[in-house]
């Protein structure tokens, strides 16, 4: 019972019953809702801004080959080196190759979910490199030996006391309950590591085609140090992160900040334009960009769900998702949690193994309303369900729905079946029936009425 | 107007009073109400389970059943969303696509029909109780109905409407989701049901009987006092 579905069911059963964790996550998101709404209100028209943001991504994604080539040509002109990786293994091999050639020892990283996607840390550590996460949340998760809980707020589930204990255990610092002091502990620890590191690995929020620049957004300043201090900078990015122009960026950056964190702008927004030039005092000697496909072109080939490639990884869909808020981020067992993760993980890792995530949704649609680039998230969950039913149908589902269909095609049978159902409901409640048994564990069913509506109608209109 | 009732299958079998109340309010407003007995289920359980090939014949049946109806009115945002939003998608590229779009344009959720189609807000009801309102997600986000039911409730004499925290949160029903992932569904019922109960309202009103099944089922099991009530039942109450 170690398939993803069984693990999910087991983990989600535990976490959805954890009222303490649920309250903690809701409290953590409480401030976000207030700030997000405050910032949204500063837009003259948030809905029109969503249209503009969606269009900017649509333009790039629907012309990906052209826009990407324009980007890489300009990136190379700026002195960077482009590497294309078809999948996770290729991306890891490229990065290991660069590290080996540079005779690197220590590597510092800033936040990069794409590196989680390709399990880069594991590969680097196995090859003998020391790797340190410099984003505070990622650093905490690295010390905890746990995957990120939320792809924007990696340790949002960890209480302050637990962070203090963690630092005491790993860094030998005295316990404290001051968030500022905890941040300073991490900062003091990390500063020397930037200086010692041979390679800095970052992600990319956007790749700007017209200038060949990489846009990175952060609140802590650690990505700047990661990119600037080590002699080699490697950026790892999915191919879908490209946008055509700086104008597009001017729409997307504030929306990313507002939708993702309730900020007007993220604290640091940097455009990286290649390695150190001759007249510059600092910056890396080499600047590599690994462009990762890893099933993105497969998603691109699906016109129905192509808009999932618009995703700017703001996390707004997680923050409003009742599933995420009740099961938490780790139960998903994916790199990308929440609605966007449930949509794209089947594409990235296989529909048969990961379709349960599309099923684990009430299809409430809060995610779709929250998405700043208008990805049709909850309908894509329906599309995944349909595709899975076609590709790998289960006999139970087929039998159940064909049986149901047989009944509802025949009004007389529906009426007769309904009568039997109502008459035997007191007994049925006690039986371990599929679906009804699961319902009855935590919820009651109403008393069955003597007459159905159709019987009542016939009686009243006879 | 001649109104054809679209009664959800579980309302037919479990809460027929919702259908009765819907017919009563429409009749009182002077409309001729019919119920076409050939109707059964819209096919949403199969559609949501990914079994589109099974759901398609159910949709085609519904097209036949409601052929020629001037207006089709259903007391459920969810079932109406199935017809309005999803039938055209389900039948896209089939010979039934045009008729699906036509039916979609003639199908209304109950509160939507009253407020948007008929322009009625005060139906002459009196219900001197404290109520809170739960938005079904399909009504809220597929049909974009939020103000319509509230306008109707505010016009009810004596009624006090209290909004809840978690106003736009899902109750966790989601059709078969509630039975396939009962632990998540129950957690959602605890969050939303809890917020609704905390308003101190005597009645939890919604335009979606499926949400009321979930919230009511949880409330009953937990022994809370608030009672679930469909908006049509509120509007059918008079002195």
In the predicted structure, residue A1 carries a pLDDT above the cut 60: no
Please name the residue of chain B whose CA is at the shortest distance from the CA of residue A359: B177
With an 8 Å Cβ cutoff, are A422 and B13 in contact? Answer: yes
Q: How far is CA B43 from the centre of its chain?
A: 15
Token pair in block for residue A392: 């790998």
* Closest-CA distance of chain B to residue A38, Å: 18
Is residue B216 less than 8 Å (CB to CB) from chain A? yes
| Site of tokens 């003259």 | A44
This model's pTM is above 0.95: yes
Nearest CA among A112, A94, A51 for reference residue A241: A112
Enumerate the domain spans of chain A: 43-294, 396-460
With an 8 Å Cβ cutoff, are B214 and A446 in contact? Answer: no
In the predicted structure, residue B239 carries a pLDDT above the cut 80: no
User: How far is A288 from A98, CA to CA, in rounded Å?
Assistant: 9
| Site of tokens 């919230």 | B215
Q: How confident is the model over A429-441, as pLDDT tens digits?
A: 989 999 999 999 9
Number of A:B CB contacts under 8 A?
A: 191
Q: B108 in the Ramachandran plot: left (φ > 0), alpha (ψ -120 to 50) or beta?
A: beta
User: How far is A185 from A136, CA to CA, in rounded Å?
Assistant: 10
Confidence (pLDDT) at B98: 98
With an 8 Å Cβ cutoff, are A382 and B174 in contact? Answer: no
Q: Which residues of A touch B177 (CB under 8 A)?
A: 359-363
* Closest-CA distance of chain A to residue B71, Å: 19
Q: How far is CA B45 from the centre of its chain?
A: 15
Please name the residue of chain B whose CA is at the shortest distance from the CA of residue A401: B46
CA atoms within a 13 Å half-sphere pointing along the CA-CB vector of B220: 16
Q: Which residues of A touch B4 (CB under 8 A)?
A: none
Return all residues near B43 (Cβ < 8 A) that are at least 6 apart. Answer: A405, A408, B54, B55, B56, B57, B58, B59, B62, B82
User: How far is B231 from B150, CA to CA, in rounded Å?
Assistant: 10
Average pLDDT over residues A72-83: 98
Return all residues near A52 (Cβ < 8 A) that are at least 6 apart. Answer: A251
Confidence (pLDDT) at A126: 97
A232 backbone dihedrals φ, ψ, rounded to 5°: -125, 130
Sign of the dihedral defined by the CA atoms of residues A44, A45, A46, A50, in that order: negative
Nearest to B11 among A359, A442, A453 (CB): A453
User: How far is B218 from B212, CA to CA, in rounded Å?
Assistant: 10
Q: Which long-range contacts (CB under 8 A, 24 or more apart) does A392-395 make?
A: A392/A351, A392/A352
Is residue B32 less than 8 Å (CB to CB) from chain A? no
Q: How confident is the model over A15-64, as pLDDT tens digits?
A: 999 999 999 999 999 999 999 999 999 999 999 999 999 999 999 999 99
**Window B:40-79, CB contacts with A under 8 Å:** 40-41, 43, 45-52, 54, 57-58, 61
- Element housing A99 (H / E): helix A88-101
Confidence (pLDDT) at A59: 97
Please name the residue of chain B whose CA is at the shortest distance from the CA of residue A384: B50
Confidence (pLDDT) at A173: 96
Within A291-410, residue ranges assigned H as helices are 296-300, 316-319, 322-327, 338-349, 351-354, 356-359, 366-370, 377-391, 395-408
Confidence (pLDDT) at A378: 98
- Name residue A271's beta-bridge partners: A215
Is residue B218 less than 8 Å (CB to CB) from chain A? yes
Q: How confident is the model over B49-61, as pLDDT tens digits?
A: 999 999 999 999 9
In the predicted structure, residue B187 carries a pLDDT above the cut 70: yes
pLDDT band at A2 (very low <50, low <70, confident <90, very high): confident
Is residue B98 less than 8 Å (CB to CB) from chain A? no
User: How far is B60 from A248, CA to CA, in rounded Å?
Assistant: 44
Is residue B9 less than 8 Å (CB to CB) from chain A? yes
Nearest to B15 among A362, A444, A446 (CB): A446
Within A113-262, residue ranges assigned H as helices are 113-117, 120-126, 136-144, 160-171, 179-196, 222-228, 246-261
Please name the residue of chain B whose CA is at the shortest distance from the CA of residue A365: B141
Enumerate the domain spans of chain B: 2-117, 130-235
User: For all residues of chain A together, what is the average pLDDT?
Assistant: 97
Q: Which residues of A touch B59 (CB under 8 A)?
A: none
Q: How confident is the model over A278-305, as pLDDT tens digits?
A: 999 889 999 999 999 999 999 999 999 9
With an 8 Å Cβ cutoff, are A401 and B11 in contact? Answer: no
With an 8 Å Cβ cutoff, are A359 and B214 in contact? Answer: no
* Closest-CA distance of chain B to residue A221, Å: 35
Q: What share of chain A is helix, strand, coil (3-state, %, to 5)?
A: 55, 10, 30
* Closest-CA distance of chain B to residue A378, Å: 11
User: How far is B128 from B164, CA to CA, in rounded Å?
Assistant: 19
Please name the residue of chain A whose CA is at the shortest distance from the CA of residue B42: A408
Confidence (pLDDT) at A407: 96
Q: How confident is the model over A78-106, as pLDDT tens digits?
A: 999 999 999 999 999 999 999 999 999 99
Q: How confident is the model over A219-246, as pLDDT tens digits?
A: 999 999 999 999 999 999 999 999 999 9
Query: Do the two domains B2-117 and B130-235 of this chain adopt the same fold?
Result: yes
- The CATH T-level fold of domain A43-294 is Rossmann fold (3.40.50)
Average pLDDT over residues A236-261: 98
Confidence (pLDDT) at A433: 92
Name the percent of chain B lying above pLDDT 90: 99
Question: What DSSP line would sit under B189-226, residue for residue?
Answer: HHHHHHHHHHTT-SEEEES-HHHHHHHHHHHHHHT-S-
CB atoms within 10 A of CB A126: 10
Please name the residue of chain B whose CA is at the shortest distance from the CA of residue A368: B141
Nearest to B174 among A326, A361, A401 (CB): A361
With an 8 Å Cβ cutoff, are A409 and B40 in contact? Answer: yes
In the predicted structure, residue A155 carries a pLDDT above the cut 60: yes
Determine whether domain B130-235 maps to CATH 3.40.50: yes
Q: Which of B6, B7, B10, B13 to mutate to test the interface with A (most CBs of A within 10 A)?
A: B13
CB atoms within 10 A of CB A157: 19
With an 8 Å Cβ cutoff, are B141 and A366 in contact? Answer: yes
User: How far is A364 from B172, CA to CA, in rounded Å?
Assistant: 8
Token pair in block for residue B71: 């207006």
* Closest-CA distance of chain B to residue A22, Å: 9
pLDDT band at A462 (very low <50, low <70, confident <90, very high): confident
Q: Which residues of B touch A332 (CB under 8 A)?
A: none
Token pair in block for residue B239: 């002195």
- So what's the architecture of B2-117 in CATH? 3-Layer(aba) Sandwich (3.40)
Q: Which of B144, B165, B181 to mutate to test the interface with A (most CBs of A within 10 A)?
A: B181
Q: Are A49 and A255 in contact (CB under 8 A)?
A: yes
Radius of gyration over every alpha carbon of chain A, rounded to an integer in angstroms: 26
Q: Which residues of A touch B145 (CB under 8 A)?
A: none
Q: How confident is the model over A107-144, as pLDDT tens digits?
A: 999 999 999 999 999 999 999 999 999 999 999 999 99
Task: Walk across the sheet containing A81-85 and list its strands.
Answer: A81-85, A286-292, A232-238, A199-202, A106-109, A130-133
- Element housing A106 (H / E): strand A106-109
Sign of the dihedral defined by the CA atoms of residues A29, A30, A32, A33, in that order: positive
Please name the residue of chain B whose CA is at the shortest distance from the CA of residue A19: B187
């Amino acid at each position: 019972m170690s398939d993803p579905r069984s693990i999910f069911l087991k983990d989600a059963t535990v976490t959805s019953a954890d009222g303490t964790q649920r309250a903690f996550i809701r409290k953590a998101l409480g401030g976000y809702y207030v700030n997000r709404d405050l910032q949204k209100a500063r837009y003259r028209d948030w809905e029109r801004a969503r249209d503009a943001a969606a269009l900017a991504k649509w333009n790039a994604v629907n012309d990906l080959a052209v826009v990407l080539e324009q980007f890489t040509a300009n990136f190379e002109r700026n002195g960077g080196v482009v590497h294309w990786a078809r999948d996770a293994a290729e991306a890891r091999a490229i990065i290991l190759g660069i590290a080996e050639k540079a005779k690197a020892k220590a590597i510092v990283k800033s936040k990069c979910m794409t590196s989680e996607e390709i399990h880069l840390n594991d590969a680097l550590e196995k090859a003998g490199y020391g790797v340190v996460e410099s984003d505070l949340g990622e650093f905490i998760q690295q010390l905890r030996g746990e995957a990120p809980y939320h792809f924007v707020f990696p340790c949002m589930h960890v209480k302050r006391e637990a962070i203090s204990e963690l630092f005491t255990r790993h860094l030998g610092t005295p316990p404290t309950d001051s968030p500022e002091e905890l941040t300073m502990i991490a900062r003091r620890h990390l500063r020397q590591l930037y200086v010692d590191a041979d390679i800095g690995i970052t992600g990319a929020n956007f790749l700007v085609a017209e200038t060949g620049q990489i846009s990175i957004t952060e609140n802590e300043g650690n990505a700047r140090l990661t990119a600037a201090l080590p002699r080699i900078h490697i950026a790892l990015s999915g191919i879908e992160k490209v946008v055509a122009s700086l104008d597009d960026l001017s729409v997307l950056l504030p929306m990313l900040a507002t939708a993702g964190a309730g900020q007007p702008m993220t604290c640091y927004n940097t455009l990286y334009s290649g390695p150190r030039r001759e007249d510059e005092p600092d910056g890396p000697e080499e600047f590599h960009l690994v462009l990762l496909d890893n099933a993105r072109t497969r998603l691109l080939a699906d016109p129905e769900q192509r808009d999932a490639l618009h995703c700017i990884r703001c996390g707004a869909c997680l923050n409003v998702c009742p599933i995420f808020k009740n099961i938490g981020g780790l139960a998903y067992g994916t790199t990308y949690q929440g609605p966007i993760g449930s949509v794209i993980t089947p594409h990235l890792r296989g529909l048969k193994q990961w379709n349960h995530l599309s099923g684990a949704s009430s299809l409430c649609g809060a995610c779709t309303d929250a998405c700043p680039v208008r990805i049709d998230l909850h309908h894509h969950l329906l599309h995944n369900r349909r595709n899975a039913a076609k590709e790998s149908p289960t006999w139970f589902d087929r039998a159940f729905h064909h049986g149901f269909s047989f009944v509802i095609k025949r009004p007389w049978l529906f009426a007769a079946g309904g009568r039997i159902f109502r008459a035997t409901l007191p007994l049925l409640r006690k039986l371990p029936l599929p679906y009804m048994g699961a319902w009855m564990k935590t919820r009651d069913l109403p008393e069955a009425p003597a007459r159905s509506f159709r019987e009542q109608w016939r009686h009243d209109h006879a | 107007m001649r109104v054809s009732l679209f009664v959800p299958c579980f309302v037919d079998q479990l809460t027929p009073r919702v259908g009765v109340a819907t017919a009563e309010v429409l009749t009182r407003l002077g409309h001729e109400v019919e119920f076409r007995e050939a109707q059964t289920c819209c096919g949403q359980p199969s559609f949501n389970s990914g079994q589109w090939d099974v759901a398609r014949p159910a949709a085609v049946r519904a097209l036949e059943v409601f052929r020629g109806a001037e207006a089709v009115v259903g007391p459920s945002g969810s079932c109406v969303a199935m017809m309005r939003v999803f039938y055209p998608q389900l039948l896209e590229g089939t010979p039934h696509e045009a008729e699906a779009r036509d039916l979609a344009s003639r199908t209304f959720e109950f509160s939507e029909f009253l407020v948007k189609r008929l322009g009625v807000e005060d139906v002459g009801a009196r219900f001197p109780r404290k109520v809170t309102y739960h938005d079904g997600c399909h009504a809220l986000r597929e049909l974009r109905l939020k103000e319509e039911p509230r306008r109707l409730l505010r016009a009810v004499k004596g009624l006090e409407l209290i909004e809840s925290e978690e106003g736009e949160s899902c109750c966790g029903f989601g059709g078969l989701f509630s039975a396939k992932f009962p632990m998540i569904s129950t957690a959602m019922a605890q969050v939303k049901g809890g917020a609704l109960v905390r308003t101190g309202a005597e009645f939890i009103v919604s335009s979606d009987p499926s949400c009321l099944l979930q919230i009511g089922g949880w409330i009953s099991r937990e022994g809370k006092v608030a009672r679930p009530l469909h908006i049509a039942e509120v509007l059918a109450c008079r002195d």
